[in-house]
Amino acid sequence: MFIIESYGTAVLFCVVTMLCWGSWANTQKLSAGHWRFELFYWDYVLGIVGLALLLALTLGNFGESGRSFWIDLQQAEPTNLGSAIWGGVLFNAANILLVAAIAIAGMSVAFPVGIGLALVIGVVVNYLEAPVGSAGLLAGGMALIVVAMLLNAVAYRRTATAAGETTGARVSAKGLLLSVVAGGLMGLFYGYVAQAMFPNFDQPEPGKLSPYTALVFFALGILASNLLFNTLLMYRPFVGTPVSYADYFRGGRRNHLTGVLGGMIWCLGMAFSILASDKAGPAISYGLGQGATVVAALWGIFVWREFGTASKGVSTLLACMLLCYVVGLGLLIVAR
């Protein structure tokens, strides 16, 4: 199977993860005007499963390192398969809430709050499992990211208050709450996937999973749980009227392809993050990937103009938020 050989390459893979995880939500934004996110999410999940299988059948069987996908699948222990699947279930619960928060509050709010919280929880959990890197630098980076989260929340509330929208303020509060709950769950899923894999990808362990096998069963966990989670959300949505499966099948080709593309972009980031964890350690790999918050905030601020009516004071808060994120991520990089 294909694996990476150096920490420098691992950091590069984490940068790709950051770009993928920070950009996939643009596909939801592109379809938001005429396609409900509950319907979008079915295609998003299919995109994740499809790319996970494609990577396992190609890169997972490429080269002489590690263990090929088919051989790995035959020897995998059920407990490790279950751990990867459970990681997918946790991620799906978190991500559905995050997508709902994006639909309500926008990318520049849902990502810094939800993913920022997930980053802090995920780095702590994964570091306790595999303590790779300087704890002091990791703590400093996370502290700056928490400050950035708070600055973003303040900026968003000021914008809503200045607009004088009472209903909008209530919606904003719901969006922030969903972001916080999503972040709490999102910070836990990665550890279960990491536990299922053998730690050194060029030294397979009996019963453990290769990164490609773990990715496939992680994706299957997302698909299975989506039958419950997203069905409930379709008929009991956070905002708007209920939608049905008939509405999904009435969608056009562009609607469906946009969702599939979003899922494939996210899954590519997940695959690169997992591969990078071999040389960088799960805590640093996950933490750097969650720098997606900066990418998403930039999309939301400069492309989607989610703070287009903000005052000069709010603009200053946003600039400080981005600075804190960038410096915090820099500390995570040098922590290795």
SS (H, E, C) 73-90: HHHCCHHHHHHHHHHHHH
Structure tokens belonging to residue 171? 């919606």
From CA 279, how far away is CA 217, in angstroms rounded?
22
pLDDT higher than 70, residue 316: yes
Residue 209 pairs in a beta bridge with 197
288: nearest Cα among 122, 101, 150:
122
3-class state of residue 241 by DSSP = coil
From CA 41, how far away is CA 263, in angstroms rounded?
9
110 or 60: which carries more pLDDT confidence?
60
pLDDT one-digit tens code per residue, 83-97? 999 999 999 999 889
3-state secondary structure 271-331: HHHHHHHHHHCHHHHHHHHCCHHHHHHHHHHHHCCCCCCCCHHHHHHHHHHHHHHHHHHHH
pLDDT one-digit tens code per residue, 31-57? 877 898 899 999 999 999 999 999 999
Mean pLDDT across 223-247: 93
In this structure, of 129-133, 190-194, 229-233, the range with the lowest mean pLDDT score is: 129-133
> CB neighbours of 121 closer than 8 A, spacing ≥ 6?
183, 184, 186, 187, 188
From CA 53, how far away is CA 10, in angstroms rounded?
22
Whether 229 and 93 have beta carbons less than 8 Å apart is answered as yes
pLDDT value for 302: 79
pLDDT value for 169: 47
pTM of the model: 0.85
pLDDT one-digit tens code per residue, 249-286? 999 999 999 999 999 999 999 999 999 999 988 888 88
From CA 105, how far away is CA 107, in angstroms rounded?
7
pLDDT one-digit tens code per residue, 56-109? 999 999 888 889 999 999 999 999 999 999 999 999 999 889 878 877 777 667
H helices of 24-134, where? Answer: 25-31, 37-57, 69-75, 78-105, 107-110, 116-129
